[in-house]
Structures are given as C-alpha cells and as structure tokens.
Chains A and B, each alone.
Chain A
C-alpha cells in the first residue's frame, strides 16, 4: 500500500519544519550567547581602561588609589575582580573584591603581546588580560587582569533559552495545526472527486461535476470524456448487435416455418442445421452483449427487480396457477449491471415457471462467507421449483451447453449456459441442486 497524499504532505512538512525550527533555534542561541560575551568583553575592557587611568608609577612599579573607578571592585564578593602582575607574574596589586573572595587568580602563563586584549573563558569566569609597557615606570611590562563571574551571564542565557524554547514549541504546534488545516483544505477537491467517482460507481451520478480547481479540471474532464466515450461505444455496439440479431432472426424464422409447411425428405437435416444456427446466433449474441457491460457497475437493489420479473413472468404463465413464495430481504443489492442481472434472474425464474408444477420459491440473503473479507461479500439467491428437476449427470452439461456451438443440442434452450457465463463474468457462481420441494434448485451467488 502506498502512502497517502495527506500523510506524505504531513511527513515532509513536519520534517522541513523540524529542520527549520532547529536551525533557527541554534542560530538564535549562538548569536545571543556571542552578543552576551561581547558585552562582557566590552565591560571588562572599560574596567581595564579605568584601572590604567588611575594607576600611578612608583619607581618601576605601579600603585593604585583606594578609590577605584568601578565601585564593585571594592565590594567583597561582588563578582568583579582585578589584579596587576609584572612580567614575571608577581602580583603587584589586587582589588579589594579579589582579596576578600575565595576566587583565585588563574595561573599566570606569560604576558601577552603588549597593547592587545586577550580574552579567556575559565570555568566560572571571563578573564580579560591586557599587557602594556609602562614608559614612566622604567618601561616595565605589566599585565592588567579583570575577571568577572559568568553566573549572571549564564542565567541571562538560560532565561533567553527558556523563552526561545517556549516560542519555538508554540510556533511548532501552530505550524502543525495549520498544516493539518492546509492539507485538508488543499486536498478537499481530491476528496470531492473521490466521492463523485464513488457516486459514479454506485450509479447515483452520471458525470463528474465541473467545480474542480484547474489542476484537477483536466483530469475530471478527461474522465468524463472517457465515460461518455465508453457509454457511447457500448450503446453503439449494443445497437449493432440488436440490428444483427434482427436481421438474422427474422429470416431464420421464415425459413424454419417454410420448411415445416412442406415436409421433404431432407427437411429434418435442414431443420437441425437451422436449430444449430439459431442457437449459435442466440448464444454468441447474448455473450457479446453481456461482455460489453459497463466499466462502472453500480449496485442494483435486488427485491424490486425480482418483484418486477416475477410479476411480469407470472403474467405469461398465469394459467399454470403457480404458488409463489418470494423471500427476498429488503435492502439487499448486488454489484451487477442491471440488464445482466435481469438476464440472469429472468432466465432462471422463467425456467422455474416453465418446469415447476405448482410451486416456486425465490429467496435471497447474504451468503455466509467464512474466509472472505467484507468487501468481497456475496449474496446468495435460490430459485426452486417442484418440477422434475435436473438429473445429476446432466447438471454440468446443462450449464455449459452452448459454450461451443457444435455441442449444442437441437431445440434445447441455451438460457442456462448464458446465465452461467454472465454469473462467472461477475465472479459469482451458479449450481444446480435438488430442491426441498422436489424439483430443481438453482443456487446463485453474486457480489454484493
């Protein structure tokens, strides 16, 4: 089974949406973190400049006043620390905040390139280093270091990430909901086409409508054209068959009757041949017209059709005073072309009238099928009479008579073999059994 259009659309858009939102989240997170770090660097740089501004030379060393440009440097545990080291890494000065804190200066490796800032991230801290050659202090090299706790920046980033996640999840949910709506709306014309095709099949609609979007309009129009073409050619074919039947049968009737009126020595032979021709014409014509049944098979309600047939046929057999017993469940229907169904049931019911003595029973009910699925449900129809029945040795032959013209028996009906062919063409079956009332029982199964 192929994946449905709706599933395909939803899967692909969900995947795309996932990628898009993931990348968006990642990029936003990265840029926010970077901008936070940049802000921190800028702040640290300003503190460095501030410290450099208040430093005073004392021989080859530097001294700092008690009042510092950034008050946080003087507060204990403020999170902002500063220190100055000489070229060897000896601590020359440290801010009061550093002195009162557990925070230790990270290890001094070596001074950086003078005049350039060096930014490092150590565990809990941002560390900004600035090395400078102090001309007024005997051209000694000092390294200014300013550190700040990353904690406040972290919580800022965490807060941002939380908001970002909430925003993205909300967007995702909205997108997915929107997507269902979009898919449903976008596929609605296809649904409606599907429904209309189903109506075509069930016969409640003759053509597809015109209210389709441009993408489907062409398909719908083609389908309509195809149906029309198929219908027309079927009608033409049927007409041709009818005409052929007319032009063959009437002369056959004339010849036959002429032959009977003047019996000659060889008239029996000619009569046999006539019977032969007649059966061939009948059989092949009925086969040909039934083979031409429509592409689209609607379902035909069974009860009214059986009622029509029974009342029409009983009219022709009124003097047999047949006792009728019709038990057809209401609302049963079979998926067989209506005229074919008439052909099948008409032949069988007429046979019952013809061969039955006084009673006929017609019943229909859903077949109990143990193995098959519901969409292969069958309807079982039984037609019984109280006539002589069909000898079991003859049963097979009666159903296949006429399948080859040369096996047909003169003067014998070919109705049953036409029925058998028709039933088989719909995937049904027909069997001759013995009826409880004594005669033949024709058991028929047809697709529901």
Chain B
C-alpha cells in the first residue's frame, strides 16, 4: 500500500514515516502543500495523511484541489486544530477522516487501514474468500481455520490482491504500491513472491485463487466468477 504523507514538522514526519513503513506501508513524504499536490497528481496512492497547517499551500486547499482533479484516494486529516469548524470544513472539503494531534499511533494505523479497506469496498476488517481469511487489523491470514505464516511482503501482496478481487493487477502496479521508489523494477522478485504465496495457499483439489494473466499480471479470483 502506498501512502502519501504531507506534514511540515520534520520530527513528526520522519517518525511517522518510520512507523508507517514498519507497519508495511510504502510512504512518500511531502513537507509542504505544493510538494504534496505534486505527488498527489503524479502518483496513484492508496491513502493520504494530510496536515492542515501547511506552508505554501494549506491542507484544506490541497484536499480541495486534489478532489477537484478527481483524485479519489482516501484522505485522512492529521492536525492540531481540533475545533469542529475545522473538522467539518476538512470533511466537507473531501477528507474521509480526521485525527487530532497528539494521537496514538495505533489509532492512526487502524483508521488508515479502515480507510484503505473502505475505499476498496470492504466494510469489515476481515476479508474472506472460499475459506481464505485475511484479517487486515491483525495482519493475519488463515486458510480453512489454520494460521498461515507469511512474511511481511507476502502479506502485503496478498492483501493488495484481495482488496481488488477479480481485477487484473499488473506487476508494475504491485511494485508501485508495495515497493519504495528505489526498487529495481526489472527484477523478477514479484514473480518469486507470488509463486511462494501460491505455494503456501495451495490446497488439493482446488484451483489456485491467484491466477496469472499472461502478459498482463495477476488476478485474485473469488467464488463468484
């Protein structure tokens, strides 16, 4: 999952960056509204965390501009302003949630996850398909009731695929959303990870749920198709 973080305080920015990465997210950071706008226009994010009091371009203006340009990824306002006037203003400008500083990191992560899930169309933190259960809150995967041990990256791949079921997802999209920019795009690491994931989720007498679409990418197939 690729996240845009727009925050002007350097300490909080670095700290958040670290924590978000630790929880398995890919993070782009911007220190002011203009940089934030640039990133928001250029890249496709799964969610954004935006401070309201930003230099050069106010957070509200940033949200409004991005929404006006049909950037529809979920946005969470993270700010010290806790007046309801500001909260309502932010939500009306197009933000999806609001968290005031100081905050608990767990809460921020929980809300961010919920936003990502919600924008993918899942109301519950638990996504299931044919006995395969993905708990986005606990970051756990169970197959027919048994806990499956996955590495952090394997989990990220599975989560990304399961959040967009039955859609063909290219390798480029996967790398964009799951890897930092400095990743070597030519390597076939994705293929290796998808292969290992398939092996761990394999069940006898059932077709694999992660299908390869030749020349295009991967698709997570659910029972309905």
Contact = CB atoms under 8 A, between A and B. Distances in A.
Contacts of B53: 246
A430 to B, nearest CB: 16
B187 interface: no
A257 B91 contact: no
Interface string A241-254: 01001101111111
B12 interface: yes
B84 A318 contact: no
A345 B88 CA distance: 12
Nearest to B84: A346
A242 B81 contact: yes
Contact of B91 (A242, A286, A316, A338): A316
A46 to B, nearest CB: 102
A253 B103 contact: yes
A260 interface: yes
Residue of B15, B19, B97, B118 with most chain A CB atoms under a 10 A cut-off: B15
B105 to A, nearest CB: 5
B11 to A, nearest CB: 5
B88 A249 contact: no
A281 to B, nearest CB: 9
Given A312-B91, A312-B92, A250 B101 contact: yes
A256 interface: yes
B91 A254 contact: no
Contacts of A274: 102
A82 B98 CA distance: 120
Interface residues of B, number: 31
Interface string B70-113: 00000000001111110110011000111011111100000000
Contacts of B80: 242, 245-246, 248-250
Interface in B2-51: 9, 11-12, 15-16, 18-19
Contacts, number: 84
Query: In this complex, which of B19, B80, B103 has the most chain A Cβ atoms within 10 angstroms of its Cβ?
Result: B80
A403 B85 CA distance: 23
Contacts of A321: 123
Nearest to B76: A316
Contacts of A286: 82
Interface string B96-140: 111011111100000000100010000110000000000000000
A287 B104 CA distance: 23
Given A253-B103, A308-B92, A342-B88, A319 B118 contact: yes
A315 B91 contact: yes
22 contacts: A249-B80, A250-B101, A250-B102, A251-B11, A253-B101, A253-B103, A254-B9, A254-B15, A256-B105, A257-B16, A257-B19, A258-B15, A261-B18, A274-B102, A278-B102, A282-B82, A316-B91, A316-B96, A316-B97, A319-B124, A339-B84, A346-B88
Interface of B: 9, 11-12, 15-16, 18-19, 53, 80-85, 87-88, 91-92, 96-98, 100-105, 114, 118, 123-124
